[in-house]
Amino acid sequence: AQTVTQSQPEMSVQEAETVTLSCTYDTSESDYYLFWYKQPPSRQMILVIRQEAYKQQNATENRFSVNFQKAAKSFSLKISDSQLGDAAMYFCAYSVQGAQKLVFGQGTRLTINP
Amino acid sequence: DTGVSQDPRHKITKRGQNVTFRCDPISEHNRLYWYRQTLGQGPEFLTYFQNEAQLEKSRLLSDRFSAERPKGSFSTLEIQRTEQGDSAMYLCASSPFNSGGSGELFFGEGSRLTVL
The set of long-range contacts for A47-53, using a CB threshold of 8 Å and a minimum separation of 24, is: A47/B103, A47/B104, A47/B105, A48/A77, A48/A90, A49/A77, A50/B102, A50/B103, A50/B104, A51/A75
How do residues B26-57 score in pLDDT, each as one tens digit? 998 989 999 999 988 999 999 999 999 998 88
Confidence tier at B102 by pLDDT (50, 70, 90): low
**pLDDT tens digits for range B48-81:** 999 999 988 888 888 999 999 998 899 999 999 9
Residue B74 and residue B51: Cα distance in Å, rounded?
A: 10
pLDDT for B97 beyond 90: no
Give A44's contacts (C-beta < 8 A, 6+ positions apart): B3, B4, B107, B108, B109, B110
Q: What pLDDT sits at residue B1?
A: 55
B42 to A98: CB separation less than 8 angstroms, yes or no: no
Q: What parts of chain A have a pLDDT lower than 70?
A: 98
Residue A15: the pLDDT is 97
Report which residue type is found at B32.
Answer: L
- CB-based contact B24:B2 (threshold 8 Å): no
User: What is the predicted pLDDT for the residue at A101?
Assistant: 84
Residue B99, pLDDT score: 55
Contacts of B44 in chain A (CB under 8 A): 104
pLDDT value of residue B101: 55
Which of B104, B109, B111 is most worth mutating to test chain A (most A CB atoms within 10 A of its CB)?
B104
Say whether pLDDT at B85 is over 60.
yes
Q: Give me the pLDDT at residue B48, please.
A: 92
Cα-based distances in Å from B87 to A9, A95, B3, B107 = 22, 26, 25, 19
pLDDT of residue A84: 96
Query: Which residues does chain A have within 8 Å of residue B41's beta carbon, measured at their own beta carbons?
Result: 106-107
Reduced 3-state DSSP string for A53-114: CCCCCCCEECCEEEEEECCCCEEEEEECCCCHHHCEEEEEEEEECCCCCCEECCCEEEEEEC
pLDDT value of position B100: 53
Mean pLDDT (chain B) is 91
Residue ranges of chain A whose CB lies within 8 Å of a chain B CB: 4, 6, 9, 32-33, 35, 42-47, 50, 91, 93, 95-107
Share of chain B above pLDDT 90, in %: 72
Reply yes or no on whether the pLDDT at B98 is more than 80: no
What pLDDT is stored for residue B60 in this prediction?
82
Contact A100 B48 (CB under 8 A): yes
Q: Strands A10-14 and A108-113, how do they pair?
A: parallel
User: What is the reported pLDDT for B103?
Assistant: 66
